[in-house]
């Protein structure tokens, strides 16, 4: 729709537009807190001022470490188990039918709702966090991988049959490569859910971590500090998304988009 | 292949039912062995029945439903509106795409304590939480769909000097609706997450409030029953969203 010669000015206009929108957001936020909202709320200037002291503080470092180690361990367990189950359910119809009521019931459900039950079973401990994170990661991995493994393109399946590939070769050379984009898509969803799950458990079970860091600072009117932690969580989410996206392009340059 | 389809579906249903029965059996056994941490299915059903009779469950469902619907409607209006606007205003799209991406990445649950202190814990604040969790998939899908209006059709419309109003009514809207519905389907699921988050972290009300109360009382029968109820509700909402999406999917133009 845009003719080629106008391209440069448009690009420039785009950048100017981005800058204007950014300035507008910052100005409206700052002004509305100063003028109408309670003044202990986070403001852009306050968040900037609080950013460095918060990031280097020992409290934040410990909270960050607690949450990240929980998320990493939970993701590892959940994604491995989920992907394995997904591959199995994709290839074994009876297993798919057997597990589908559980998988779809749990997958549809907000993981927040599982936290009260988990705290009764596992107590107000980091085990609860690990379990909730692992389950939050397990479900999207199992569902996405299951979809992928079930829908191996029929040309590939037929070719494999014609070539009389052994079961092992079929799994290694056909099933895994064609399912890989779905595995990555599952992991991508899992990371976001795992971060949210971790924060939710920490809120409800008051476990040490970024969630509790946000909660205590928000309650003691250190909202700017709390917001820095929210910001860090958002950046982690973006980084994980970008990382999995890059992995997808590196591993499978031919496969650009996977629809969930 | 098509001949064996009904048979296959029946088999699938039977195996799924066997799986569910097996789970129920395990639940019964575990519930009898450890009545404190677990409760038998019967006791959970009884607990839900008691809650229903005393009226707290129906009123909680109503409160949660109201919250979800308010937040979702706001998200649909704002999301579809803004998404459509983005499709026509290229400069607006290039200026705000980063903002939508960034805002989408903020975990709303983590923002709950700040929303609590900014806007309190009344219905407006809780609706804001639901709105924020649900709006982004709707904006993104709507904008994506509107962006994909075939250039040929746009050019034909321009050649015939179609007015902006007619362009929207006859081309943009009908083309975008199926995409918006995909966003709304995802939005419904997210809105449910937002509802629970608002009920957990702003003020304990609705189904989330009941769950929290039962959990602090260590009432495992009620917690188990309510957790299952939430799961059933979630599946129901998801199928509702799928049905809506499928209904409008036939508007989807065949794409090349």
Q: What is the pLDDT of residues B6-33, one digit of tens each?
A: 778 888 888 888 888 998 888 888 888 8
Angle at A207 between CA A201 and CA A209, to 5 degrees: 90
Q: Is position B120 within any domain?
A: yes
The pLDDT-based confidence of B151 (bands split at 50, 70, 90) is: confident
Q: Is position B149 within any domain?
A: yes
The answer on pLDDT for A218 being more than 80 is yes
pLDDT value of position A175: 86
Within this chain, do residues B16 and B119 fall inside the same structural domain, yes or no?
A: no
SS3 A138: helix
CB of B176 closer than 8 Å to CB of B142 = yes
Give the chain B residue nearest A33 (alpha carbons): B118
pLDDT digits (tens, 9 = 90+) for A129-156: 999 999 999 999 999 999 888 888 888 8
Lowest mean pLDDT among A14-23, B55-64, B182-191: A14-23
Instruction: For residues A236-240, give the mean pLDDT.
Output: 88
The answer on pLDDT for A193 being more than 80 is yes
Within this chain, do residues B8 and B113 fall inside the same structural domain, yes or no?
A: no
Distance CA B180, CA B75 (A): 12
Angle at B118 between CA B116 and CA B122, to 5 degrees: 55
Q: Is position B97 within any domain?
A: yes
Share the mean pLDDT of chain B. Answer: 87
Within this chain, do residues B209 and B116 fall inside the same structural domain, yes or no?
A: yes
Within this chain, do residues B121 and B211 fall inside the same structural domain, yes or no?
A: yes
Within this chain, do residues B27 and B143 fall inside the same structural domain, yes or no?
A: no
Within this chain, do residues B204 and B236 fall inside the same structural domain, yes or no?
A: yes
Q: Is position B254 within any domain?
A: no
Within this chain, do residues B7 and B91 fall inside the same structural domain, yes or no?
A: no
pLDDT digits (tens, 9 = 90+) for A89-114: 988 888 999 998 899 889 989 989 99
The pLDDT-based confidence of B237 (bands split at 50, 70, 90) is: very high
pLDDT value of position B254: 54
- Paired tokens of B15: 């195996």
Within this chain, do residues B50 and B134 fall inside the same structural domain, yes or no?
A: yes
Within this chain, do residues B6 and B111 fall inside the same structural domain, yes or no?
A: no
Lowest mean pLDDT among A194-203, A205-214, B52-61, B159-168: B159-168
How many CA atoms does the CB half-sphere of A112 hold within 13 Å?
29
- For residue B121, report the phi and psi dihedrals to the nearest 5 degrees: -125, 25
Neighbours of B209 (CB within 10 A): 18
CB contact under 8 A, A41 and B193: no
Give the chain B residue nearest A116 (alpha carbons): B215
SS3 A220: coil
Please give the residue range of the domain that contains residue B120: 40-249
- Supply the ipTM of this predicted assembly: 0.84
The pLDDT-based confidence of A254 (bands split at 50, 70, 90) is: low
Q: What is the pTM of this model?
A: 0.86
Distinct helix (H) and strand (E) counts, chain B? 11, 0
Within this chain, do residues B50 and B25 fall inside the same structural domain, yes or no?
A: no
B161 vs B63 pLDDT, higher one: B63
pLDDT value of position A70: 93
Please report residues of B whose CB lies closer than 8 A to that of A203: 109, 112-113, 200-201
Share the mean pLDDT of chain A. Answer: 85
Q: Is position B256 within any domain?
A: no
The pLDDT-based confidence of A86 (bands split at 50, 70, 90) is: very high
Per residue, the 3-state secondary structure of A77-101, as one string, reads: HHHHHHHHHHHHHHHCHHHHHHHHH
pLDDT value of position A40: 79
Instruction: For residues B52-57, give the mean pLDDT.
Output: 89
Q: Is position B198 within any domain?
A: yes
CA-based end-to-end distance of chain A: 30
Contact map slice: A 102-141 vs B, CB within 8 A: 102, 104-106, 108-110, 112-114, 116-117, 119-121
The answer on pLDDT for A5 being more than 50 is no
Within this chain, do residues B27 and B114 fall inside the same structural domain, yes or no?
A: no
DSSP secondary structure letter of residue B252: S
pLDDT value of position B167: 82
Number of domains composing chain B: 2
pLDDT value of position A259: 40
Q: Is position B255 within any domain?
A: no
The pLDDT-based confidence of B89 (bands split at 50, 70, 90) is: confident
pLDDT value of position A73: 95
Distance CA B197, CA B115 (A): 12
Give the chain B residue nearest A210 (alpha carbons): B110
Most A CBs within 10 Å, among B25, B105, B130, to test the A interface: B105
CB contact under 8 A, A110 and B230: yes
How many CA atoms does the CB half-sphere of B151 hold within 13 Å?
3
pLDDT value of position A42: 84
Instruction: For residues A183-196, give the mean pLDDT.
Output: 90
Within this chain, do residues B129 and B44 fall inside the same structural domain, yes or no?
A: yes
Chain B touched by A198 (CB under 8 Å):
no
Distance CA A124, CA A138 (A): 22
Considering only the beta carbons, identify the residue of A20, A40, A99 that sits closest to B19: A99
Chain B touched by A208 (CB under 8 Å):
no
Here the CATH number for the domain that contains residue B195 is 1.10.3720.10
Q: Is position B173 within any domain?
A: yes
What ranges in B120-219 are assigned the alpha helix state H?
123-147, 151-159, 164-167, 173-201, 206-216
């Amino acid at each position: 729709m845009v003719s080629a010669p106008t391209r440069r000015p448009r690009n420039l206009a785009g950048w100017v537009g981005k800058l204007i929108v950014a300035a507008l957001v910052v100005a409206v936020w700052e002004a509305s807190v100063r003028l109408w909202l309670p003044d202990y709320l986070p403001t852009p200037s306050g968040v900037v001022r609080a950013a460095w002291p918060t990031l280097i503080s020992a409290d934040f470092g410990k909270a960050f470490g607690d949450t990240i180690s929980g998320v990493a361990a939970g993701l590892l367990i959940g994604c491995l188990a989920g992907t394995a189950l997904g591959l199995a359910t994709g290839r074994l119809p009876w297993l798919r039918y057997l597990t589908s009521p559980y998988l779809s019931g749990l997958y549809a459900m907000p993981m927040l709702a599982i936290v009260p039950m988990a705290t009764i079973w596992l107590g107000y401990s980091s085990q609860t966090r690990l379990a909730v994170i692992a389950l939050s990661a397990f479900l999207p991995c199992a569902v996405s991988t299951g979809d992928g493994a079930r829908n191996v393109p029929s040309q590939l399946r037929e070719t494999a049959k014609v070539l009389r590939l052994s079961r092992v070769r079929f799994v290694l050379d056909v099933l895994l490569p064609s399912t890989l984009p779905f595995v990555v898509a599952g992991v991508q969803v899992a990371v976001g859910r795992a971060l949210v799950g971790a924060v939710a458990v920490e809120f409800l079970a008051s476990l040490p971590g970024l969630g509790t860091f946000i909660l205590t600072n928000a309650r003691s009117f250190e909202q700017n500090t709390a917001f820095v932690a929210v910001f860090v969580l958002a950046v982690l989410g973006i980084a994980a998304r970008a990382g999995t996206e890059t992995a997808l392009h590196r591993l499978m340059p031919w496969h650009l988009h996977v629809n969930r | 292949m098509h001949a064996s389809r009904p048979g296959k579906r029946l088999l699938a249903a039977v195996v799924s039912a066997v799986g569910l029965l097996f789970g129920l059996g395990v639940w019964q056994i575990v519930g009898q062995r450890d009545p404190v941490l677990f409760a038998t299915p019967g006791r959970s059903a009884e607990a839900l029945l008691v809650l229903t009779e005393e009226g707290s469950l129906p009123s909680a469902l109503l409160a949660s439903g109201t919250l979800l619907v308010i937040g979702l409607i706001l998200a649909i209006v704002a999301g579809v509106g803004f998404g459509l606007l983005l499709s026509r205003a290229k400069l607006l799209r290039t200026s705000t795409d980063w903002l939508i991406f960034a805002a989408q990445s903020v975990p709303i649950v983590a923002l709950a304590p700040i929303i609590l202190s900014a806007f309190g814990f009344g219905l407006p604040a809780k609706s804001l939480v639901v709105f924020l969790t649900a709006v982004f998939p709707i904006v993104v899908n709507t904008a994506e769909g509107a962006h994909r209006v075939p250039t040929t059709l746009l050019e034909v419309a321009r050649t015939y000097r179609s007015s902006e109003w007619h362009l929207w009514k006859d081309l943009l809207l009908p083309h975008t609706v199926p995409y918006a519905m995909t966003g709304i389907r995802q939005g419904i699921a997210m809105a449910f997450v937002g509802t629970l988050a608002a009920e957990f972290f702003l003020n304990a009300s609705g189904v989330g409030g009941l769950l929290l109360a039962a959990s602090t009382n260590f009432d495992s029968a009620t917690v188990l029953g309510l957790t299952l109820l939430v799961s059933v509700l979630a599946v129901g909402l998801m199928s509702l969203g799928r049905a809506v999406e499928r209904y409008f999917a036939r508007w989807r133009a065949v794409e090349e």
